[in-house]
Amino acid sequence: MPLELLVFDLDGTLIDSKLDLALSVNATRADLKLPPLPHETIFSYVGNGAPALIRRALGEGASEEQFQRSLQFFLDYYRAHMLENTRLYPGIRETLDRLAMAGVQMAVLTNKPVRFSRDLIRGLGLADRFSAVYGGNSFDTKKPNPEGLRHLMAELHAAPQETMVVGDSGIDVQTARSAGAWSCGVTYGFQPETFADNPPDFLVNTPAELLKIVGNARQGGLSGRPSELARPAGDGGLPAE
């Protein structure tokens, strides 16, 4: 079947937001007079949404009252500073432009709060590239639960075998697999090591390599069904420029 819909993760896939997230987490800890965490430690906490990030950043000793106060502090601080250092990964804008020119439908499904996600996408000049953007509070569940992905497929009229999830972690692979969709992992993001336990159907090192997968799929369709074996992008596909 041809590939009709690409569903992208946000942090670690489209945008490099690590520094702004780390600075916001450590500002939250400072508000409680806690010492800063190493940035690499914070990066490893990203991917399951803001509440999970702050719970892990505060540690098991934080009370529920401290957690709720700190979560609100983090959300307020991050909203004010989230575009100071955050950038698109190299090649993302060009790749999205080529995909749009080829008529591929694109959407974003992230565990980041939806208001932040849409503001980031708008601030980075990508709002017109996506048919829909949903976040971690758009549905009753977050990834890896497939609820959001199934909603997107229904909304945009794409069957599971016509859909591919593109992300930087095993969470994205699990989401795709649970909905019967294809998965493509990116190695340049936050948590590529998680692909060891959750191998995607395809694996790319740069955004441009995604054009090869999509081009081949639209020419001949993706054969079979989503597998549990990672495959490289291969040759051919849409032109990169």
Q: Encode 87-149 in three state secondary structure.
A: EECCCHHHHHHHHHHCCCEEEEECCCCHHHHHHHHHHCCCHHHCCEEECCCCCCCCCCCCHHH
Per-residue pLDDT of the chain (241 residues; tens, 9 = 90+): 689 999 999 999 999 999 999 999 999 999 999 999 999 999 999 988 899 999 999 998 899 999 999 999 999 999 999 999 999 999 999 999 999 999 999 999 999 999 999 999 999 999 999 999 999 999 999 999 999 999 999 999 999 999 999 999 999 999 999 999 999 999 999 999 999 999 999 999 999 999 999 998 877 767 665 654 444 444 445 544 4
| pLDDT at residue 166, as a whole number | 98
DSSP assignment of 184-198 equals: EEETTSS-GGGGGTS
Calculate the alpha carbon distances from 125 to 48, 61, 133, 183 in Å.
25, 41, 14, 26
Q: What is the CATH superfamily name and number for domain 5-16+87-232? A: HAD superfamily/HAD-like (3.40.50.1000)
| pLDDT at residue 237, as a whole number | 55
Q: Which residues of 96-112 are buried (b: 16+ CB within 10 A; e: fewer)?
A: bebbeeeebbbbbbbbb
What six digits make up the tokens of 230?
Answer: 């990672």
Q: What is the CATH superfamily name and number for domain 18-81? A: Putative phosphatase; domain 2 (1.10.150.240)
Which helix (H) or strand (E) is 203 found in, with range?
strand 202-204
Q: What CA–CA distance (Å, rounded) separates 175 from 191?
A: 15
User: Any bridge partners for residue 134, and if so which?
Assistant: 109
Asked if domains 5-16+87-232 and 18-81 share a fold, the reply is: no
The residue extents of the domains of the chain are 5-16+87-232, 18-81
How does strand 87-88 pair with strand 15-16? antiparallel
CB 35 within 8 A of CB 71: no
Q: What CA–CA distance (Å, rounded) separates 185 from 187?
A: 6
Contacts of 165 (CB under 8 A, 6+ apart): 7, 8, 9, 109, 149, 172, 173, 175, 176, 181, 182, 183, 184
Residue of 9, 16, 20, 168 marked active site: 9
Which candidate, 181, 115, 173, places its Cα nearest to that of 144? Answer: 173
| pLDDT at residue 151, as a whole number | 98
Distance linking the first and last C-alpha atoms of the chain: 26
Q: Is there a catalytic annotation at residue 9?
A: yes
